[in-house]
Structure 1
Amino acid sequence: MCVIEPSPVVETRRLALRSPGAQDISRLAALANDPDVARMTLRMPHPFGLADAEAFVLGVAVQDPARARTFLIEHEDHGPVGVIGLFEDTDPAPEVGYWIARPFWGRGFATEALQGAMTWASRAWKRRALMAGHFTDNPASGRVLEKAGFLYTGEVRRGFSRARAAETATRRMVWLA
């Protein structure tokens, strides 16, 4: 039987993945209120204000830890730099999604956080596979997933992006432990 930690902290070389709290609300609102960040996600609205950040933190607090886990990505020097989450949906394996704030793009934080979350998912959550996707106009996210060991499935799925207010094509990927 798998015992689920109530609030795990996953540490990588430069990052700590931890549950977001009330102390993170203003920082999350500032980082996420960027149209170029939000438009690469399905669920994030734009604009993203304090009320959105508060609702996000409260939503994470009531997640069923057996079905979903959301981590704030915190850098040792810069503080919070993004979010990564794993959740069960309609796919046979849980899906992982993430975003990194624009000032921290291109520094390898997404790849490092993803690898930490994958290690946690396989060890603590006992998952042997994860699903992910990236919008067809976001090849940088595809490279992050490839570096972490995800492979393309060949499926392209359409989903509604709240920030774009439009249907968007997503290239689907899978990781097997």
Structure 2
Amino acid sequence: MCVIEPSPVVETRRLALRSPQAQDVARLAALANDADIARMTLRMPHPFSTRDAETFVLNVAGQDPATARTFLIEHEDHGPVGVIGLFQDGDVAPEVGYWIGRPFWGRGYATEALEAATVWASRGWRRRALVAGHFADNPASGRVLEKAGFLYTGEVRRGFSRARGAETDTRRMVWLA
């Protein structure tokens, strides 16, 4: 039997992945209130208010740790820089999604966090596979997934992006332990 930690902290060379807390609300709202971030996600609204950040933190606290785990990505010098989450969403394997605040793009934080999350999922959750997707017009996210060991499946799904208010093509990928 696998014992699920209530609030694990996953550490990397530069980052700590931990549960978001009430003290993170203002920072989350400031980073996430960026149309270019929100439009590359399915679920994130834009604008993203302090109330949205509060609701997000409360929803994460209420997650079933056996089927979902959301981590705040915290940099050792910069504080919170983004979010990464793993969740069951109807696929055969849990799905992973992430975003990084614009001031921190291009520094490898998404890849570092994603690699740590895959290790955690394989050890802490005993998962042998994860799935992910990126919008067809976001090849940078595809490169992050590839660097973390995800492979393209050839499947393209249509998904509704809240921030775009429209259906968007999502290129599907899989990671195998």
Using the alignment, how far apart are the partners of 2:169 and 2:110 within structure 1?
Answer: 21
* 1:103 CA displacement: 0.4
Amino acid paired to 1:130: L
Count matched residues. Answer: 177
Deviation digits for residues 57-100 of structure 1, max 9, x if unmatched? 00000000000000000000000000000001110000000000
Using the alignment, how far apart are the partners of 2:11 and 2:136 within structure 1?
Answer: 31
User: What does residue 99 of structure 1 align with?
Assistant: 99
Using the alignment, how far apart are the partners of 2:168 and 2:54 within structure 1?
Answer: 27
Deviation digits for residues 112-162 of structure 1, max 9, x if unmatched? 000000000000110000000000000000000000000000000000000
% identity of equivalent residues: 85
User: What does residue 128 of structure 1 align with?
Assistant: 128
Amino acid paired to 2:146: E
Amino acid paired to 2:14: R
2:157 counterpart SS class: strand
User: What does residue 110 of structure 1 align with?
Assistant: 110
Amino acid paired to 1:102: R
Using the alignment, how far apart are the partners of 1:33 and 1:118 within structure 2?
Answer: 27
User: What does residue 164 of structure 1 align with?
Assistant: 164
Whether 2:153 is the aligned partner of 1:146: answer no
Using the alignment, how far apart are the partners of 1:157 and 1:13 within structure 2?
Answer: 35
Using the alignment, how far apart are the partners of 2:29 and 2:168 within structure 1?
Answer: 24
User: What does residue 86 of structure 2 align with?
Assistant: 86
Q: After the TM superposition, which residues 12-31 of structure 1 pair with which residues of structure 2 at under 5 Å, given as runs?
A: 12-31=12-31
1:66 counterpart SS class: coil
Structure 2 gaps of 5+ residues are: none
User: What does residue 59 of structure 1 align with?
Assistant: 59
Using the alignment, how far apart are the partners of 2:173 and 2:12 within structure 1?
Answer: 23
* 1:169 CA displacement: 0.4
2:20 counterpart SS class: coil
With structure 2 as the length reference, what TM-score do the two structures score? 1.00
With structure 1 as the length reference, what TM-score do the two structures score? 1.00
* 1:46 CA displacement: 0.1
Using the alignment, how far apart are the partners of 1:163 and 1:12 within structure 2?
Answer: 31
Structure 1 segments (4+ residues) deviating >2 Å: none
1:133 counterpart SS class: strand
Using the alignment, how far apart are the partners of 1:70 and 1:3 within structure 2?
Answer: 17
The Cα RMSD (Å) is 0.3
